[in-house]
Amino acid sequence: MIQISPHAEAALTCTLDERSLYLRRLVLGSVRSAGRGHVGPALSLIEIVRVLYDDILRIDPNNPRDPERDRAILSKGHGCLALYALLADRGFFPLSELDGFCGSDSILGGHPEYGMVPGVEASTGALGHGLSIGVGLALAARMRERNYRTFVLLGDGEINEGSVWEAAMGAAKHGLDNLVAMIDYNKLQSYGPTDYVLPLEPLADKWRSFGFAVQELNGHDVGALRTVLKQVPAVPGKPTAIICHTVKGKGLPAAESNADWHHKNKLSDSELDAIRVAVGDF
C-alpha cells in the first residue's frame, strides 16, 4: 500500500498568506481576460515560483540577460501563468501585459517563449525538454567556471517522458551540483491521477537511484521552500531534486484536485464569485 506523504497532507491543509493570494489574483485575472488558461497547473506552482523569484534566484529585472544570473527554466510550460505573474510582479515587464494573455499581439502565450518574454530562459510547452537544456546550462557553467545555478521546474505528468530520465542520468554523470530539479508533484495530470495514468512512486527513490540528492517538502510552505532552496546543493557533487508535494488548483476550492480545472475556458459568473471568495477581489 502506498503511504501518503505527510508533506502531501500538509499541502492539502495549509493556508496561504496575502502574497500567495495576490499572485493567484494575478493568475486568475489573466484567465478572466483571455477566457482560457491552465489554471490548476499554475496554482499548484505559485509558491515554488514565488520563493525562487523572491528569495533565491540572483536575477536583475533590469538586466535579464546578465551572464552571471541564475537560470530558471519552467519545463512544465503550461504552468506559465504562475511564472508570468511573478515576472510581472518583479518588474520584468509591466503588470498590464497580464491582461493580454494569449492575445494575438501579446508577448504572453499559452506557453512561454524565449525572446518574447523578458526573463524566460527557454521556450517550453512540449514536455520533457527542460531538464536536458538545464544540464547543458549547468555543464556550461562548470566548463566556463561560472557560479550561476540552474533551476528546472518539472511537472509530475511531465516526468512520464523518458527524456527526463535520460537527462537525469546525464546530470548525475557530470555531478552537476549546480543543477536543481523541482518537481511540482500535485498528483493530477490532464486525464486524472498520476497514480492511474502512469504511477510515479516510489518517486523519491527513483530520483535517488538516478544519482540525485533528494529533498521532499510541502510545495505550498513558503518557509520550507526557502530553507531547502537556500541549502542547495543538498549534497556536494550531486544534482538536487526537490519533490514539492502540492495541490493542483491550490487556493481555489472548486479547482483543488479537480482535473476539470487543468485547462479552463471561459469562467462563469458563479465561478468568478467563488474565486473572489477564495482569493479576494480581482
Partner 1 sequence: MRNTAMNMVHKLAARDERVLYIGSDPGAGTLRAMSKEFPKRHLIEGISESHIIGMSAGLAMEGFVPYVNTIATFLTRRCYEQVAVDLCLHNLPVRLIANGGGLVYAPLGPTHQAIEDIAIMRALPNMTVVCPCDADEAARMMDKTLDWTGPIYIRLGKGGDAVVSKAEHGFEIGKAILMRPPGDVLMVTTGIMLQRAIAAADLLAAQGVRAGILHMHTVKPLDTEALLQAIRGIKLVATLEEHVPSGGLGSAVAETLIDKLGSGLPAMLRLSLPDRFMHNYGSQDSLLKKHGLAPNAIATSIEHALAASRTSAPQLHST
Identity of the residue, 140 or 198, whose beta carbon is nearer to partner 1 in the bound complex: 140
Determine, following the binding rule CB under 8 A, whether residue 134 of this chain makes contact with partner 1.
yes
Stretch that binds partner 1, among 29-37, 98-106, 127-135, 181-189 (CB under 8 A): 127-135
Determine, following the binding rule CB under 8 A, whether residue 170 of this chain makes contact with partner 1.
yes
Identity of the residue, 158 or 271, whose beta carbon is nearer to partner 1 in the bound complex: 158
| Interface positions, 89-118, toward partner 1 (CB under 8 A) | 114-115
Min separation Cβ 170 and partner 1, Å: 6
Determine, following the binding rule CB under 8 A, whether residue 188 of this chain makes contact with partner 1.
no
Rg (CA), the chain: 18
Cis peptide bond prior to 202, omega within 30° of 0: yes
For partner 1, the binding residue among 61, 64, 109, 136 (CB under 8 A) is: 136
Q: If residue 41 lies in a helix (H) or strand (E), which one and from where to where?
A: helix 39-43
Gap between the Cα atoms of 173 and 192, Å rounded? 34
**Torsional sign, CA 247, 248, 249, 255:** negative
Gap between the Cα atoms of 197 and 185, Å rounded? 14
**Among residues 241, 57, 273, which one has the least CA distance to residue 164?**
241
Chain contacts with partner 1 (rule: CB under 8 A):
114-115, 121-123, 125-126, 128-141, 143-144, 162-163, 166-167, 169-170, 173
